[in-house]
Structure 1
Amino acid sequence: MIKRTVAMFAIASLVLTTSCKENAALRIDEETAKEAEIAHADAGKIAVMKFDEVEHDFGTIDQGEVVSHTFTFKNEGTSDLVVSQAKASCGCTVPSYTKTPVKPGETGEVNVEFNSKGKKGNQNKTVTVSANTEEGSQVLKFKAVVTPKEGEVATKKAK
């Protein structure tokens, strides 16, 4: 039994050492080593997007009115924060955002403009902000009650 175990170990060792034709450490060139060093140094650094608020209520607005609100965030991480996209849940909402990297400790903004044209009643909308954070995205929400123009009834609900 012991002889068999030793023989299996010897065969496994032989296969492992002969399958590598060269030492892996010797295959790494100087540039690759430098990139690995930088990646290792940055490995502990992350961006953290912390919003002052993630929900806003526009209250009651008149149909056709365009309203906007600015959501402010702070980078509480240790790496630059980059917002890559802000996507609205519908075409009636237009988001805009800070396009430059936000350094640790600094603030950025996501502005949301809502056009109530053709809307009636309760409206609940979202904007998904994508960034280089551990979570990857943050959902911002807003709502409004749209008063219809005279002669129309507020029966349509938000999608």
Structure 2
Amino acid sequence: MKNLAVILCIAFLSVGVYAQEKIAKIEFKTDVIDYGTIEKGADGVRVFEFTNTGNAPLIISKAKSTCGCTVPDWPKAPIMPGETGEIRVKYDTNRVNPIRKTITVSSNADTPSVALKIKGLVVDPSKTSVLEKKDKSVMEQ
């Protein structure tokens, strides 16, 4: 009877350990995208690629930006182990200013919250600065 109890305890413990090993892992190719210097009205869509390197389905529950000028779109279906996915980010390039935004991705992965960043500069080519005009007039002389 003692042997049966020991065997049952070992069986329950090994099932518990096995169940804990099944976990999704999200691995991004990069967590920062640099737009560089782009013109006002340019295409503001960029893509963060990732892979589920775990051994359980990856479910992204949400992706949230720090402001309304950056809109993330993520896969709603589970990403199976070994499969890849994309989080598309669209920045409103009609805003002329530096880009410094964070997108927070929440999922069931071993790291449940991941911060992705975009950076760059949106310029309006129809407007020139006082310094550019000054430099140009000095060069022409």
Place the TM-score, normalised by the shorter chain, in its bin. Answer: 0.7 to 0.9
| Equivalent position to 2:85, from 104, 108, 115 | 108
Give the secondary structure class of the aligned counterpart of 2:44: strand
TM-score (norm 2): 0.73
Residue deviations 1:36-78, cap 9 Å, x none?
A: 99x8342221100000111111111122334111111101111
Q: Percent identity?
A: 37
- State the distance in 1 between where 2:60 and 2:68 align: 20
- State the distance in 1 between where 2:62 and 2:71 align: 12
Q: Does residue 1:86 correspond to 2:78, yes or no? A: no
Q: How does 1:68-87 map to 2 (within 5 A)?
A: 68-87=45-64
Match of 1:130 in 2: 106
- State the distance in 2 between where 1:81 and 1:118 align: 34
Check the 8 A contact 2:47/2:87 in 1, yes or no: yes
Which letter does structure 2 place at the counterpart of 1:141? K
- State the distance in 2 between where 1:135 and 1:149 align: 42
Q: Does residue 1:44 correspond to 2:21, yes or no? A: yes
- State the distance in 2 between where 1:66 and 1:92 align: 13
Q: What residue ranges of structure 2 are gaps of 5+ in the alignment? A: 1-11, 130-141
| Equivalent position to 1:148, from 117, 124, 128 | 124
- State the distance in 2 between where 1:135 and 1:103 align: 17
Task: Count how many residue pairs are aligned between Structure 1 and Structure 2.
Answer: 116
- State the distance in 2 between where 1:55 and 1:118 align: 20
Provide runs of 4+ in structure 1 moved above 4 Å: none
